[in-house]
Amino acid sequence: MDIQKDFEDVLRIAQLERAVQQAVSVVQRLDSLRKDLPTMVGQLRGGAEAARELGKPELAEKFERIAAIVEERAGDFLGTR
């Protein structure tokens, strides 16, 4: 029985468990972002509409551009486009 090898095996298992926990956490965060993406884009578009109602077309255009960028880039990354 090699205590050094057993100890190294235990350390490797602990490292693998931590890596799996981190991966699960990342997947959960990505899933949350995927679910929240339509709401975020909707809020940006709502900001554009409010800016138009306030007579601020330049600001409305900025909100629309940001919404389009978020939708495109995040959508590609999260697979929602």
- Note the pLDDT tens digit of each residue in 8-17: 999 999 999 9
* Residue 80 structure tokens: 């929602």
Domain that residue 20 falls in:
3-78
pLDDT of amino acid 21? 96
Tally of domains in the chain: 1
- Angstrom distance (rounded) from CA 72 to CA 81: 7
**Is-above-0.85 flag for pTM?**
no
Angle between helices 57-78 and 3-53 (to 10 degrees): 150
pLDDT of amino acid 73? 87
